[in-house]
Amino acid sequence: MIRGWLSRLRAQREQRIVQRRAISNELWIETMASLPFLARWSVADLEALRRLTSLFLDEKEFSGAGGLEVTDAMAVRIAVQACLPVLHLGLQPYRGFVGIVVHPDEVVARRVVTDDVGVVHHYDETLAGEAMEGGPVMLSWRDVENAGESAEWAYNVVIHEFAHVLDMADGAADGVPLLAHRAARDAWCRVIDAEYAAFCDVVDAGEDTLLDPYGAESVDEFFAVASEAFFVAPHEMRGEHPGLYALLAQYYRQDPA
């Protein structure tokens, strides 16, 4: 009885937010046109995506860096891609952070590492995006803007960074998202560890890969690049990595191919 009452109350609250944060038809059509890979989803899924995008916009705070002003159109284009992976999972896994910082272009980050013998190394790393536990998520607008075309080579910076957020939802960036129980976690690790090892061999051999070779860096990067391909190049992804595709389809509760 109370449960029914609570869920009705929540539905009403969500409905008010969706109305307050409604995305105009014009902006929605413009956003869909800029992301042609979304044409694979059904009308019902896209309606649900539009609704979830409004809820996401209500919870998150966008800010521009380097003089960039984040317009409504930019925020919607980022939000819709961030919501795609959680279309059937809901926004709960994203609740650990609020801020999304958008830079005009890639960012050069200064890194410092100390090696095994205690020598400190300084180096620069060029980033199109970054996700840290507790946030914020950082994105390069130039990379977001090219998401329509870059889908062809299975590249999508927003999905990549939000896959990291999902990965970290259980407290560790280890290529394993929050799963219902221990057995699911074990099953996940069996598949992804084997796929990752095979992928590293192919990258080491210098062969061309559908997935970004950057995925060979670590298993958490492998999960992120596999998620990109799963959503923006699903047919190719299913053809080359059927086991990994099935694992992601089960986790995301979607089958884009």
Q: By the criterion CB under 5 A, which residues form the site for Zn ion?
A: 221, 224
Rank residues 75 and 159 by Cβ distance to Zn ion and give the closer one.
Answer: 159
Rank residues 51 and 103 by Cβ distance to Zn ion and give the closer one.
Answer: 103
Q: Are 228 and 161 in contact (CB under 8 A)?
A: no
User: To the nearest whole angstrom, how small is the minimum distance from the Cβ of residue 161 to Zn ion?
Assistant: 7
User: To the nearest whole angstrom, how small is the minimum distance from the Cβ of residue 189 to Zn ion?
Assistant: 19
User: To the nearest whole angstrom, how small is the minimum distance from the Cβ of residue 221 to Zn ion?
Assistant: 5
Q: Which residue has the tokens 């902006």?
A: 27
- Give me 53's structure tokens: 């995008």
**Closest residue by beta carbon to Zn ion:** 224
Rank residues 28 and 214 by Cβ distance to Zn ion and give the closer one.
Answer: 214
Q: How far is it, in rounded angstroms, from Cα 228 to Cα 31?
A: 18
Rank residues 52 and 244 by Cβ distance to Zn ion and give the closer one.
Answer: 244
User: To the nearest whole angstrom, how small is the minimum distance from the Cβ of residue 16 to Zn ion?
Assistant: 36
Q: How far is it, in rounded angstroms, from Cα 62 to Cα 4?
A: 34
User: To the nearest whole angstrom, how small is the minimum distance from the Cβ of residue 214 to Zn ion?
Assistant: 7
User: To the nearest whole angstrom, how small is the minimum distance from the Cβ of residue 191 to Zn ion?
Assistant: 20
Rank residues 215 and 256 by Cβ distance to Zn ion and give the closer one.
Answer: 215
User: To the nearest whole angstrom, how small is the minimum distance from the Cβ of residue 207 to Zn ion?
Assistant: 22
Q: How far is it, in rounded angstroms, from Cα 165 to Cα 169?
A: 6
* DSSP secondary structure letters along the chain: -HHHHHHHHHHHHHHHHHHHTPPPHHHHHHHHHH-GGGGGS-HHHHHHHHHHHHHHHHH-EEEE-TT----HHHHHHHHHHHHGGGTTT-SGGGTT--EEEEESS-EEEEEEEE-TTS-EEEEEEEESEEE-TT--EEEEHHHHHTHHHHGGGT--HHHHHHHHHHHHTTS--SS----SSHHHHHHHHHHHHHHHHHHHHHHHTT---SS-GGGGG-HHHHHHHHHHHHHHSHHHHHHH-HHHHHHHHHHHT----
Amino acid at 144: V
Rank residues 143 and 221 by Cβ distance to Zn ion and give the closer one.
Answer: 221
Rank residues 38 and 128 by Cβ distance to Zn ion and give the closer one.
Answer: 128
